[in-house]
Every structure is written in C-alpha cells, then in structure tokens.
Amino acid sequence: MAVGRVTFSKAEREKLAEVLWLLNWISVVTGVILFSLGLFLKVEIQKWAEVMSEYGTFYVPHMLITTGLAACCINYLGGQICLDCADTNKFLRWKLVMMPYIICTFFFTSCVLAGALMCYSIRSQLEESLFLGLRNAMRYYKDTDTPGRCYLKRTVDMLQIQFQCCGNTGYRDWFQIQWISSRYLDMTNSAVVDRLRSNVEGKYLMDGVPFSCCSTFSPRPCIQQHLNNRTARLHYDQESQQQNLWRRGCRQALLDHYTGIMESIGLTVLLIWLFELLVLTGVRYLQTAMENVLLLGDPDLESYGWILENSLAEMARSNFNIIKNLGKCYQVDDDPNINVPTAAAEHEVPSQATRIQCSS
C-alpha cells in the first residue's frame, strides 16, 4: 500500500508543476538568506576572535554558507525541472534525473536541519572557547609592546566597555594576574619591590582592576584600586560601591550575546527546513504522478502520486527477505557425508587402476 497516495488529474498535475516552479524560486531566495546568515555569524564571531581560543573554530557559519550556496543551485535546477514537468513530452528529458535529484534534495534538507540543531547545541563549545580565550587575553593584557599581543589591551578594554562587564567570570579575576606592565612599576618604591618579592612567580598582583571595568552609571568617581581594603574608603557607602564596577563577567556577557544570535538564526533555519521539506514532498508527488501517467499511455488520464510506493513495514519486510535470500546463497551445507566417496566410487577406482596396469 502506497504511503500518502493522491489522485491527480491532468489540470492538477499542471497546476502542481507551476506551484512547485514558484516555490523553487522562493527556495533560491531562502538559500540567499542562509548564505547571508552564515556570513553574518562569521563576521560576528570574527569581531571578538581575539578573546576566543582555537577551540572555538566554529563550523556553523561555514556550514550555513555552504548550505546556502547549495540551496541556490539545487532549487534553481528544481525550478527548471518543475517547469518542464507541466508537459508530458518535456518530462521525458528529466525522467532519469528526477530520482537522483530527489535523493540529493533529501540529503540537502537533512543538512539544513543539522545546521538548525547545531545553532542550539553550540553553547557548550562557545562557553569553553570564551573561558580559555578570555583567560589568555587577560594574561597578556599588559604585553602592549609584544608583537602579536599589542592589541589585546585595546580589545579587552573595548569588550568591557561595550558589554558592561569585567574580568572573565567577575572583576575579582583581575586580582589573580599581573595586568600592569613592569615598565610602569616604580622599582625604587619599597612597597612595589616587597609586593614582587612576596609572590612566588615574581608577579605584581594587586586588588585593582583596569579603568574599563568602571561603571558609567556610577554617581561617584570610580575606585579601581584597594578594592579589598574597606578602610581606604570609609565614606563610600555600600550601595554606591555596588554601582562602581561592572559585576557581570565578560564570558557570560559574550555568551548571552552569541546565544541570542544563535537562537534567532536557528529558528530561521528551522523554518527554512520546513519550507524545503514541503517543496521536496511536492516534487516527489509530481515525479510519481508523471511516471504513472506515462505507464497509462494517455496524458489526459488521472494518475496516482505518492511519497513512498510501499509502506515502511512492507519495505522493511522486502529488504529483510532480500538479505535473507542473499544469506542462503552463501550458506555452506552441513551434511557430514559431503565430499565422502561412495561405495560405487571406491570399486570404480581400483578397476581403473587394473586396466592401466594391463595396458602397460
């Protein structure tokens, strides 16, 4: 029993072909949208690539770009096929191409669905990449005179100002690294020398943060140093202190930013997948209806169209029987008497040997 069998008249087949031609051209536009979304996502990731680790070489933008280009090519070809399928004589040119085209389109729609799912599953990879990348960026924040790292300070400062964040997970992350270059340390100051000697690795650690951590909404001047020393700001109330620095970490800020983008792109790609699946279903109906009308021999007659010629159970049973018959072809006989000479053969062999001796 065919799955989804529908009867089509000649006028309905022609109408289906015309509608599918239009839908395929709309699908070309959706391919351009996929390409644009992939390009947009790639640009957004490149903006803050300096604070991401190599672990974050994301493949989603490249997949969307590739899928978008494939959509334009496949649906352009589909539009030409559907336009010719309105005429039975022109359909003969595409009869052998239809099934490979449908198979390719099926795999293409599967890739679109995979792209949509990856947009929702990339969060953990993105979080790990941001954690490692921000940690390295903060570590090299002071290396403004080192080639390859001289722009990290500007990048981190712009990140903290634009996203209103501070540090990796919070502003206290700056207390654990030396973010002031040794060139700006006054080595004649005994307090500076003592602080360097007190650290095992010889780093100048302090309970301070860069200026970019300061909140622009603070009603009072920003306090960047001696953040753990409450006696240094006796007249600075707790409420004002909370408004003094950005409290959110930059990893969470960037993660929320990219997650919002990914979810929007994922929803768009999922809708495109549903549309492409609709077009693929229509093309399958058109193919089977046109092939059946050719078998009838009269293009004016009604014909059946379907998604699957047999039900899933029948297909599974048929494939199982094929595999079972193949197994029987290679089955070895377990008869214990196989290759054992019979009694007649045993008598025949000595008689042949006797004749040979007589003749000699």
| Range 292-297 contact pairs with CB under 8 angstroms and sequence separation of 24 or more | 293/10, 293/13, 293/88, 294/88, 294/91, 294/92, 294/95
Number of Cβ atoms within 10 Å of the Cβ of 171 = 24
Tally of CA atoms within 13 A in the half-sphere of 246 that contains its CB: 29
Angle at 342 between CA 341 and CA 348, to 5 degrees: 90
Token representation of residue 147: 């080639």
Residue 231 to residue 199: CA distance in whole angstroms? 24
What number of residues does the chain have?
A: 360
Could you tell me how far CA 63 lies from the centroid of its own chain? Answer: 6
Q: CB of 160 within 8 A of CB of 210?
A: yes
Q: CB of 160 within 8 A of CB of 246?
A: yes
φ/ψ bin of 232: left (φ > 0), alpha (ψ from -120 to 50), beta (otherwise): alpha
Question: pTM of this prediction?
Answer: 0.77
User: Exposed e or buried b for every residue in 179-189, given b needs 16+ CB within 10 A?
Assistant: bbeeeeeeeee
Of 162, 161, 182, 169, the closest CA to residue 138 belongs to 169
φ/ψ bin of 87: left (φ > 0), alpha (ψ from -120 to 50), beta (otherwise): beta
Strand-pair category, 303-305 with 6-8:
antiparallel
Q: Tokens 């300070």 sit at which residue?
A: 153
Q: Which amino acid is at 329?
A: C
Residue 214 to residue 171: CA distance in whole angstroms? 10
Rounded to whole angstroms, what are the CA distances from 80 to 101, 247, 263?
12, 58, 34
Q: What is the per-residue pLDDT across 241-260, written as a single tens digit (0 to 9) for each?
A: 555 788 899 999 999 999 99
Boundaries of every domain in the chain: 6-132+252-309, 138-180+197-229+241-251
Per-residue pLDDT in tens (0 to 9) along the chain, 360 residues:
677 788 889 899 989 999 999 999 999 999 999 999 999 999 999 999 899 987 555 788 999 999 999 999 999 999 989 988 878 888 888 888 888 999 999 999 999 999 999 888 888 888 999 999 999 999 999 888 888 788 899 999 999 999 999 999 999 999 999 888 878 777 778 877 887 888 767 788 888 899 999 988 877 778 888 787 776 665 665 545 555 788 899 999 999 999 999 999 999 999 999 999 999 999 999 989 988 888 888 888 888 888 887 776 776 676 667 677 776 655 555 555 545 555 444 554 454 444 444 444
